[in-house]
Amino acid sequence: MQKATFGGGCFWCTEAIFQTINGVKKVTSGYMGGELKHPTYMEISHGDTGHAEVIEIEFDEEVISFRDLVLIFFKTHNPTTLNKQGNDIGSQYRSVIFYHHNIQKQDVEQLVAHLEQENVFENPIVTEILPATDFYEAEDYHQDYFNQNQSKPYCTFVIQPKLNKFANDFKEKIKPELLE
């Protein structure tokens, strides 16, 4: 199993998307990138600890490549807004990829250069590309959030539309059992 760690706004949204991808074995919501050891959601929610809300993905590289995961990451959030995703504002919601080894770093840098060259986005990509640091698992109530809370307004009005768009754009990447 390989690991990938992405921050693309609220981890509830990114977790829900990456849980559906064929080859992804586990998605864990948490925090990375700050100085405070073992932060809580309440501590990072003010945006002053340096942590980002992230998901740590365990995936089978023989089923899905890291590069494909990065492309999905870029296509399912706005990598051109600094410290903001939709209504979520603050450094904890920044767009960031924490790489686990230099090959991942090179893959991300090459993909960003390609997306920029192709003018895929109207504005420049501001996603941070940083070495992975200590990962702190978020509290239990943040794990598997969408699947546990589908009827809550945030899930209905924010996450579900993102999942629908993802399913339209990346149907071939979704776990087959979810398409039945």
- 4, 10, 97, 112: which one is catalytic? 10
Kind plus residue range of the DSSP H or E element containing 152: none
Phi, psi torsion values for 175, nearest 5 degrees:
-55, 130
Q: How far apart are CA 161 and CA 76, in angstroms?
A: 11
Burial of 151 (0-12, 13-18, 19+ CB in 10 A): exposed
Q: How far apart are CA 98 and CA 66, in angstroms?
A: 12
Query: How wide is the angle at C-alpha 34 spanned by C-alphas 66 and 80, nearest 5°?
Result: 55
DSSP letter at 32? E
Whether residue 10 lies in the annotated active site:
yes
Tokens representing residue 74 in the block: 């870029």
Catalytic residues: 10
